[in-house]
Amino acid sequence: MLDPILLRQRPAEIAERLQATRSFALDAGALESLEAERKHIQMRTQELQNLRNTRSKAIGQAKASGGDVTALMAEVAGIADALKASESRLEVIREELDAIALGLPNLPDLSVPLGSDESANVEQSRWGTPRVFDFTPLDHVELGARNGWLDGDTAAKLSGARFTILRGGLARLHRALAQFMLDLHSGEHGYVEVNVPVIVNAESMRGTGQLPKFEDDLFATAVGDSKRYLIPTSEVPLTNIVRDTIVDHTQLPMRMTAHSMCFRAEAGSHGRDTRGMIRQHQFEKVELVSIARPEESDFEHERMTRCAEVLLERLGLPYRRMLLCTGDMGFSASKTFDLEVWLPSQETYREISSCSNCDAFQARRMQARWRNPATGKPEPVHTLNGSGVAVGRAMIAVMENYQQADGSIVVPDVLKPYMGGIDVLR
């Protein structure tokens, strides 16, 4: 959520910035009109409350002196009716203003390049040299099918399209990757490992920005009248740990990591990456989340991105870092770095990690605050999240980059301790 004071005082400026950076149309005039009515109704409501209290006190005094209170009681009844109507209208206006505020994306940081889509993203750096094969490399689907490790047909029979079954050595490789990621981030990078629920309530989804705008991209479940959502990433439960709390400044930065199942309906991506495991309804990811003081969030963003880069370097996977433009960033982000890993079968880099600084945007939605020792007052924290990394996509990258001419896959050195002595998948 954007700064409500800024939104009330300078709606035209906010509308201009959103249009220029996000191609988002905010009706500043309608917002100003609603805000003016809110102020008027709120003042009227307060006046009626004061008048009711004054007249009610007069009734008590009149009764005590034996006077006739009929007229006063009729007046109070009329005031009560007017007050009820005023309070009702005020509630409606506040709900309309909240709905507008919840639908506004975050404002991009001034360092973010302008652009409407991924073509305007800016490459920041590269690591590693793509391998030159002396045979035609297969993609992960062909490698998996050839060895019976990856089975989309049976998964489709069980659950429908965009689900996959992994078997044998490939299933173990997938598990090894997740364990390696958790060990690296918790053991060397200072993130506290957390095991989180994969089903959350609407308040949690609203807090991190998935609701109300992106409900079509979510899987939901209902038991009786209770509706809950399957998480699209463990960013949701991890970040919401600090919802409705005031964090002590000595606990910041708060760094957490979690490995979880993730679920996405992918409602707007028909026809995109439907082959194999690039874009699935169910997948696994190791997530990184930081809760930080405002002045340290830029440092935390760089640090988090570097932690994900180290992981790819340990795996020996060539990658590049991209600074996303304004039109390609997520709804809640103010600045995002994407890490893209090299896939030989496609001869291109594909996203494997996305690390975002959301500044105070999510914190305002969640009422997540810290007490600034300099002022003694609670202020919004800054929240950051990143993939550290997507397990399935890391497995795809390992399969393709470490494949041999006979279809076998060499296990990267850092994963061998997790593979029970297996050094080649045959």
Q: What residue ranges define each of the domains in the chain, with the CATH number in brackets? A: 4-103 (1.10.287.40), 118-425 (3.30.930.10)
Query: With contact defined as beta carbons under 8 Å apart, do 230 and 221 qualify?
Result: yes
Tokens of 46: 């307060």
- Residue 351 is assigned to a ligand binding site: yes
Among the options 255, 264, 303, 369, which is catalytic? 264
Tens digits of residue pLDDT in 182-201: 999 999 999 999 999 999 99
Q: What percent of the chain has pLDDT over 70?
A: 98
CA 207 to chain centre: 9
Query: With contact defined as beta carbons under 8 Å apart, do 351 and 289 qualify?
Result: no
- Note the pLDDT of residue 279: 92
Tens digits of residue pLDDT in 146-171: 889 999 999 999 999 999 999 999 99
Concatenated DSSP letters of 174-232: HHHHHHHHHHHHHHTS-PEE----SEE-HHHHHHHT-TTTTGGGSEEEEETTEEEEE-S
Active-site residue 354, yes or no? yes
Determine the 3-state secondary structure of 383 from DSSP. strand
Q: Cα 270–390–130 angle (5° rounding)?
A: 95
- Residue 295 is assigned to a ligand binding site: no
Among the options 351, 371, 379, 408, which is catalytic? 351
- Residue 33 is assigned to a ligand binding site: no
- Note the pLDDT of residue 65: 85
> What values do phi and psi take at 374, rounded to 5?
-70, -30
Amino acid at site 382? H
Active-site residue 371, yes or no? no
Read off the pLDDT band of 272 (50, 70, 90): low
- Note the pLDDT of residue 267: 65
Active-site residue 264, yes or no? yes
Query: With contact defined as beta carbons under 8 Å apart, do 292 and 381 qualify?
Result: yes
Amino acid at site 132? V
Amino acid at site 246? I
CB atoms within 10 A of CB 205: 22
- Note the pLDDT of residue 64: 84
Task: Please give the DSSP secondary-structure letter assigned to residue 372.
Answer: -
- Residue 387 is assigned to a ligand binding site: yes
Mean pLDDT across the chain: 96
Among the options 162, 354, 356, 400, which is catalytic? 354
- Residue 265 is assigned to a ligand binding site: yes
Tens digits of residue pLDDT in 166-177: 999 999 999 999
Amino acid at site 179? Q
Query: With contact defined as beta carbons under 8 Å apart, do 393 and 312 qualify?
Result: no
- Residue 354 is assigned to a ligand binding site: yes
**d(Cα 379, Cα 364) in Å, to the nearest integer?**
9
Among the options 172, 284, 393, 400, which is catalytic? 393
- Residue 266 is assigned to a ligand binding site: yes
Tens digits of residue pLDDT in 350-403: 999 999 999 999 999 999 999 999 999 999 999 999 999 999 999 999 999 999
- Residue 235 is assigned to a ligand binding site: yes
Active-site residue 279, yes or no? yes
Active-site residue 314, yes or no? no
Q: Cα 369–373–375 angle (5° rounding)?
A: 85
Among the options 279, 293, 320, 350, which is catalytic? 279
